[in-house]
Amino acid sequence: MPRITFSPFEKTIDIDGSRNILQLAREAGIPLQSTCGGKKICGKCKVVIKKTDGPLPPSSAREQKVLGGYSEKGYRLACETVLSHGAVIRIPEESRLKPQVILTSDTEHSYPVRLRPNVSPHYVEVSPPVLDSVIADRQRLLIALEKTYGIRRPALDPFVLRKLPHTLRSDREGVTVAIRSKDEIIDLYPGRRDSLFGVAFDVGTTTVVAFLMDLITGDRLSVKSAMNPQIAIGDDVITRIAFCRENTGGLEKLRISIVECLNALIAEAAAEAGIDPDEIVEATVVGNTAMHHLFVGLDPHYLPMAPYPPVLQESQDYKARDLGLNIGASAYVHLLPLKAGFVGSDIIACILATGLHRSKIPTLLIDLGTNGEIVFGNKNRMLCCSTAAGPAFEGGHIRWGMRASSGAIERLKIDQEMLDVRWETIYDQRPSGLCGSGIISAIAEMIRAGIILGRGNFDKGLQTPRLRDGEDGPEFVLVWASEAATKQDIVITQKDVAAMQMAKAAVNAGATLLMEQFEGEEVERILLAGAFGNYVDPEDACTIDLFPGCLTAKVVGVGNAAGHGSCLALLDKNKRKEAERLAQKIEYRELAATTRFKELFVSSMFFTSARDFEDVF
């Protein structure tokens, strides 16, 4: 059977002419980018076929268009090319999927924790069995609990019952009973025990973070993170939902992949804390609506179809074992409530964590990823929406865009006279491309230096070799090939600027539309949640008009607020009720349905800080 080898990974796989190179790379575990999920749009899956035992299939016009000038250099799209002969395929540096920097921390802007866990320890001394009257182990335990704490007849599932005889007869005095909501026994321990453990998850489209917590002290024992393995199917939720729709067993495949990821994080975190995963008595999960549905195994089929209804909105409690999570056998997983098809429990958790719903100050909360979720309001009223910002903020559809991984330019400066460029990269590596904050920094600096004008066009009159005509029209060279890890010039193209204009206009218009509903209320505080919000320079964001209110409001990054919200719900059961109430209270606005959004979108496309803005507009 013919085989192909992926270089430089030296992994080989048999081929039968039925699968394209991207599918083969996924099977072989090759870290190949596929931002559009194989739809032949993004051009990120570029590979070079170095050696082949037979003729290559011809390159289609569409492939050549997506590849641009790379086509002449021998590049092919992995998602387009099907080989039936053996070959050696090189995965170039810029096409490799690298581990992303994952934001795990929150900030001082997060709401403090009050310890009221849903599962708490109860020490009891159970009377021993006696000869003259047979009272079962379970009954004696229940009698002791009622006598000591007034807790009446809590449930015990079979997994707890299996431990009961041995635990009651250990050589220690008494037993500690982990009781959930005063109505179910989750676990039993011989003797007196003061610590119980829980795990809080933030399941993002790109990254997943697990926080292992001591439920009694509130201590964070370990934090572990990983890339969401569903990225192998596609970067965005729409591609993954389409995968479920188009492939028999697709939903189950994605469900299993995220459950395995969570289990791996649980094992790592537990090992670091020196506990057994079986000792974890409760978990909480937040995520966007698609991630929620894929984790539970709910059909996401209708999420991308107007009016974008989720299968359910309320918070849910499931036995962890029913979802496949490897924690205590009787433990539960609590999933925080959802609001809409594109406003998930991650946003509810962000509100919980930042205390926006208790604040008097009119506050704008923005969580940017492939979708931009926006909340505006205060304790009296809150509105939310989701904007289809597209993947530009995560480097998608940007010629040299990449994830926030090693070698990504995260910030840069352009000398306003000489137009020389200085950059900072993640882990100080030679530049490989630009992550989201780097793209915003580049465009903001190009506006300040007068390279980009108010309409987003380049000032072609500038005398610098960095400004030139490329295959996608004008482009500005940020990094010369001799300085780049890719050995090619890293540029910002006119098309990149247009992609960012669309993305920022969607966010600005969405936020403005929400704010318009609060007549007379000026935004006083802008909270930027998530990794993007943490790393983007607020001044750069204001220079590109990413959101309204830059002149009046204080802009602050709030770190992984969704993760903090998940921890709050783990440590304080009252926060779960608060989350439920705020999810019901917050008003959702569907932007696609309004002409006002379209008007605002068009007027938000410009750069108001550009040198020529006053003259042209």
Per CB under 6 A, residues contacting ligand FES are 22, 34-36, 38-45, 66, 77-79
Residue whose CB is less far from ligand FES, 239 or 604: 239
How far does CA 594 lie from the centroid of its chain?
28
Report in angstroms how near the CB of residue 44 gets to ligand FES at its nearest: 5
Q: How far apart are CA 341 and CA 368, in angstroms?
A: 16
Report in angstroms how near the CB of residue 90 gets to ligand FES at its nearest: 16
How far does CA 526 lie from the centroid of its chain?
20
Report in angstroms how near the CB of residue 34 gets to ligand FES at its nearest: 4
Report in angstroms how near the CB of residue 77 gets to ligand FES at its nearest: 5
Residue whose CB is less far from ligand FES, 34 or 543: 34
Report in angstroms how near the CB of residue 423 gets to ligand FES at its nearest: 26
Residue whose CB is less far from ligand FES, 35 or 176: 35
Chain position carrying tokens 């959702």: 588
Residue whose CB is less far from ligand FES, 42 or 103: 42
For 15, residues 6+ apart whose C-beta sits below 8 A from its C-beta are: 1, 2, 3, 4, 24, 83, 84, 86
Report in angstroms how near the CB of residue 234 gets to ligand FES at its nearest: 8
Euclidean distance between the first and final Cα of the chain, in Å?
65
Q: Give me the sheet containing 207-214, strands edge to edge.
A: 220-227, 207-214, 197-203, 280-287, 332-335, 316-319
Instruction: Of 596, 605, 570, give the one whose Cα is nearest residue 114.
Output: 570
Report in angstroms how near the CB of residue 32 gets to ligand FES at its nearest: 8
Residue whose CB is less far from ligand FES, 22 or 434: 22
Report in angstroms how near the CB of residue 26 gets to ligand FES at its nearest: 11
Q: How far apart are CA 270 and CA 12, in angstroms?
A: 35
Q: How far apart are CA 331 and CA 281, in angstroms?
A: 5
Residue whose CB is less far from ligand FES, 62 or 162: 62
Instruction: Of 136, 109, 95, give the one whose Cα is nearest residue 8.
Output: 95
Q: How far apart are CA 392 and CA 35, in angstroms?
A: 11
Query: 617 is written with which tokens?
Result: 């507009």
Using DSSP bridges, classify how beta strands 372-377 and 554-557 pair: parallel, antiparallel or unpaired. unpaired
Residue whose CB is less far from ligand FES, 34 or 501: 34
Residue whose CB is less far from ligand FES, 38 or 369: 38
Using DSSP bridges, classify how beta strands 473-479 and 408-414 pair: parallel, antiparallel or unpaired. unpaired
Residue whose CB is less far from ligand FES, 43 or 277: 43
Report in angstroms how near the CB of residue 250 gets to ligand FES at its nearest: 17
Residue whose CB is less far from ligand FES, 39 or 577: 39
Residue whose CB is less far from ligand FES, 22 or 177: 22
Residue whose CB is less far from ligand FES, 62 or 422: 62
Report in angstroms how near the CB of residue 322 gets to ligand FES at its nearest: 35
Report in angstroms how near the CB of residue 70 gets to ligand FES at its nearest: 11
Q: How far apart are CA 411 and CA 72, in angstroms?
A: 32
Query: 325 is written with which tokens?
Result: 């999570």
Can you list the positions of beta strands (E) in 338-403?
363-368, 372-377, 382-387
| 201 in Cβ contact with 566 (< 8 Å) | yes
Residue whose CB is less far from ligand FES, 43 or 337: 43
Using DSSP bridges, classify how beta strands 184-190 and 175-180 pair: parallel, antiparallel or unpaired. antiparallel
Report in angstroms how near the CB of residue 22 gets to ligand FES at its nearest: 6
Report in angstroms how near the CB of residue 80 gets to ligand FES at its nearest: 7
Report which residue type is found at 24: L
Query: 460 is written with which tokens?
Result: 């072609």
Query: 616 is written with which tokens?
Result: 């042209």
| 84 in Cβ contact with 54 (< 8 Å) | yes
Q: How far apart are CA 599 and CA 603, in angstroms?
A: 6
| Buried b / exposed e along 283-303 (16+ C-beta atoms within 10 A) | bbbbbbbbbbbbbbbbebeeb
Q: How far apart are CA 446 and CA 442, in angstroms?
A: 6
